[in-house]
Amino acid sequence: MVSKPVGKSTERVFVTPEGVDLRLNIGDAGQRAAAFLMDAAIIIAVLVGLTIAAVLMGIGAGAASGFTGVEVIAVIWLLIFFLLRNFYFTAFELSAAAATPGKRMFGLRVASRDGGRLRAESVFARNALRELEVFLPLSLLMSRADQGGAESWMWLLALGWACVFVFFPLFNKDRLRAGDLVGGTWVVRTPRRKLTRDMADDGAERLGHFVFEPAQLDAYGAKELHVLESVLRQRDRGTMAAVAARISAKIGWQRGLDDRDEDFLSAYYAALRGRLEQRLLMGVRRRDKHDV
């Protein structure tokens, strides 16, 4: 994978393992902060809802077992908060969208910086460091409020160390958290854009010359369809030639001497899209070429 700034400061050249040359935009610090605050609001809302439920159900249970209702609520609250802050982000980023609800709202997703699939260990690593980046500073602030007798210089030293992680994304061009560095990930923009019908129709007109077998269309999934759409939109001849050669080799397609790269890719795009939509109607969803 090759990444370097191009044009706008947030734009990067991104080369996938298939050799597809794409341009992605890195999510800026403001977008990432807003997405995190939205996720934090969701977590807090869940905690508030569970606290209310604990108030309604936990007081009686606590009295019966010898504990006060406040103790029962506190235990439940701490347990749920631990589970949420450790598994909320991980679970959503391991999904097909690779994004939490907050990231999806602001058009962001997590991607692997090496151009491959987003691996589970990368997601676990980037989220494990969130304890150092977010929750440790918050704990220090709370301990300062609760334990006024603590040595001020020790508290300031610990808080300064924690703030290094908090403000780390502001001091690197890719807006990477420490967790992103450890996990080999970055957060990129994924603006929602519908596939235009004219592109599919344009490819459908060429299907009379390019007839693909079902096995040739099953070589790729929805992710590759979106990548192919980006290639066709960019209309870079070098990129189209490289992608056309790779697809032809993978599906075993013998191209004629007069077959233009754009014609071949447009036809394959239309055929692949039709194949995926047909299988989706039967309840079969293939996310990418690795999804078997």
Q: Which of 189, 224, 244 is the last residue of a domain?
A: 189
142 lies in the same domain as 260 = no
141 lies in the same domain as 79 = yes
Reduce the secondary structure of the chain to three states and give it as a string.
CCCCEECEEEEEEEECCCCCEEEEEECCHHHHHHHHHHHHHHHHHHHHHHHHHHHHHHHHHHHHHCCCHHHHHHHHHHHHHHHHHHHHHHHHHCCCCCCCHHHHHCCEEEEECCCCCCCHHHHHHHHHCHHHHHHHHHHHHHHHHHCCCCCHHHHHHHHHHHHHHHCHHHHCCCCCCHHHHHHCEEEEECCCCCCCHHHHHHHHHHCCCCCCCHHHHCCCCHHHHHHHHHHHHHCCHHHHHHHHHHHHHHHCCCCCCCCCHHHHHHHHHHHHHHHHHHHHHCCCCCCCCCCC
What per-residue confidence (pLDDT) applies to 210?
A: 77
41 lies in the same domain as 159 = yes
113 lies in the same domain as 23 = yes
115 lies in the same domain as 260 = no
Tens place of pLDDT per residue across the chain (292 aa) = 445 444 456 777 665 555 555 667 788 888 888 999 999 899 989 888 877 876 776 555 544 455 556 676 777 778 888 888 878 999 999 988 889 999 999 989 898 887 677 889 999 999 888 877 777 777 766 665 445 555 677 677 777 777 787 788 888 888 788 889 888 898 888 755 444 444 545 544 555 567 788 888 888 877 788 888 888 888 788 888 888 888 988 888 887 777 788 888 888 888 888 877 776 654 455 554 555 5
143 lies in the same domain as 248 = no
Domain range spanning residue 45?
5-189
Please report whether residue 255 resides in a domain.
Answer: yes
What per-residue confidence (pLDDT) applies to 15?
A: 58
Q: Which of 189, 208, 239 is the last residue of a domain?
A: 189
What per-residue confidence (pLDDT) applies to 277?
A: 75
Look up the pTM and report it. 0.59
47 lies in the same domain as 162 = yes
213 lies in the same domain as 119 = no
Q: Which of 131, 166, 189 is the last residue of a domain?
A: 189
Please report whether residue 292 resides in a domain.
Answer: no
What per-residue confidence (pLDDT) applies to 197?
A: 47
29 lies in the same domain as 61 = yes
Please report whether residue 287 resides in a domain.
Answer: no
181 lies in the same domain as 60 = yes
162 lies in the same domain as 105 = yes
